[in-house]
Structure 1
């Protein structure tokens, strides 16, 4: 018989046949003994049992990796997180660059739309999604190989990308806190970027995603579990 099981430890609801109930909560890892059960009513959304999620403990040991509610980064959801990396190659060396990472690491490398065929920007999928499925888009960290200069020109040092909500505000703070603005706002493949350097000389891109934050990053997620 199918039932709805709500974890008393974290409030995560799931629905399973009685013979297929997992031994631990997929949300927090609590044992089966912590599940509250009720009859299946056609939808998890219609369940009668609701458990308030635990509150954030501001004094939690940062080295304790057991389940805990995530820190709330509001109001700038996603601001400052690492999104992807970028590595450059000299114009005319696209195939050499592609072969290096395909042959050594087995990456899937795909030319992006509207790229220069001779010096394309190449999307790199670096790993499989599961043990038995190799995707054409990555599930692990991804990045791009992109032409940066003609032979003999200086290679840029920036190699990873941080998401920001306001490029201009971030550039202002960069200077205020001892960094440098290496390249003002520019557009690449329809997206706005800038390049900055921190107070120790480390360079990286910032990528403005003000209007592209998914709704689930702003509003609470309704966890539906298996239905």
Structure 2
């Protein structure tokens, strides 16, 4: 079991056992992490995931609380998860993205400018292993947008932008629940950029395809 998944299960157990009740504030992060035998980073990621599910509520400057666990709130999240994990159209969107991202990377390798390469490198340098999932996904969206822009085809860029926005929530969920997703995405983006900078069309296309395939494979496993 991934570390984040283990942390999620431990917090859920506290709620199901009645140790944490609806509306109750969680112990402070270092205290709870020690009590559950978790690293603070794993606990933090678990809290993010459970907040996305409306199980926990994070109040800036006040602390983290168990939500009311009211059925309408939880059902709203359940609807999202059903859409995410069972809707075949989402897989199809990623399959189309794979084709288009590969084409964009190949075109970018042929005609990217030095200024565009510098901008892409600076963008990737803005992330670190400590970056949040939200920062990663925002950076991911911008990275792919800039590659499409470097491809020099406005129709292709517009199509990719639409597909990218429609798959953003799945990427957030993957980042929250799959161990190592942040580091893996950073490494794959760097490999794509290196291929584009080397003007290697074939490598750029292959690495872009593999990058999207990783998300698609995760989605298939999650749906299963």
Q: TM-score, normalization: structure 1? A: 0.31
Q: Which structure has the highest helix share of the two?
A: 2
Q: From the CA coordinates, give the structure whose radius of gyration is larger.
A: 1
Bigger share in strand: 1
Which TM-score applies when normalising by structure 2?
0.32
Greater RCO structure (CA 8 Å; 6+ sep): 2
